[in-house]
Amino acid sequence: MPSPREHNKGLSTFPTIAAEAALSFLKDTKGALTWTARDLADTLKIKRPEAEQALALLEAQGYIQPARGAKGQWITTPAGETVSGAKAPRFTRESVEQSLAQLKNRIQQNNKNRQTPFRITNAVAFGDFLLPDRARVQSADVGIGLVRRNDSRPRDNSPASPHSASEAQAERKFRRELRAKSAHLNLRPYADWMRGRTHRDLL
């Protein structure tokens, strides 16, 4: 599946929001027939003019289109679903919530254990499980920020903190183990935009 980075070149002119944030919203729309500019603005915590600009850019990329016969309503196209990584919602909210609670406990245990290679500095969960009207939801996305226990510099996906190939591999392995094979969770490197949109803090 194409990654968001491979499709974000045309979205690089977003005025104040990250392209990944806009795509995360599109992923959330998988379970909705239509949605509005207000939905986009509320999820990404942006003002209406910014939402309108984002809509224009997403439409230009072919990721969304106006809903026929419904003024002010939008639908996410198959291309938008693909680039955002959307999947058919198949989990109950309760099962995702349970997995998040277990993950939160693992994070707390990890940070108390000085023998683990990384300390978790950010843990931000987001996705359609936060929407109250969904009977079925997708797996929750969780941005995980890490710092080596013997290194005071943050490793929260910052350009100022470059990763070596071996370091990046070690972090991927750590997140995979932290996920504990849960199908309800999608762990990924933390980025600041995740905290800018609607989310749940697990720390």
What is the model's pLDDT at position 161?
Answer: 52
Mean pLDDT by 10 residues, the chain (203 residues): 46 68 97 95 95 95 94 96 97 97 98 95 98 94 94 51 79 96 97 96 96
Could you list the residue range(s) of the whole structural domain that residue 127 is in? 91-201
Query: In sequence order, which residues have a C-beta less than 8 Å from that of residue 19 and are 6 or more positions away?
Result: 4, 8, 11, 12
What is the model's pLDDT at position 3?
Answer: 45
The per-residue pLDDT for range 147-184, each reduced to its tens digit, is 998 765 555 454 445 568 888 999 999 999 999 999 99
Say how many CA atoms lie within 13 Å of 14 toward its Cβ. 23
Neighbours of 199 (CB within 10 A): 19
CA 178, 99, 90: angle at the middle one, nearest 5? 120
Domain co-membership, 13 together with 109: no
Domain co-membership, 101 together with 74: no
Number of domains present in the structure of the chain? 2
Return the C-alpha torsion angle 37, 41, 47, 53, nearest 10.
Answer: -50
What is the model's pLDDT at position 149?
Answer: 87
Domain co-membership, 28 together with 128: no
Of 62, 84, 106, the position where a domain reaches its end is: 84
Domain co-membership, 79 together with 102: no
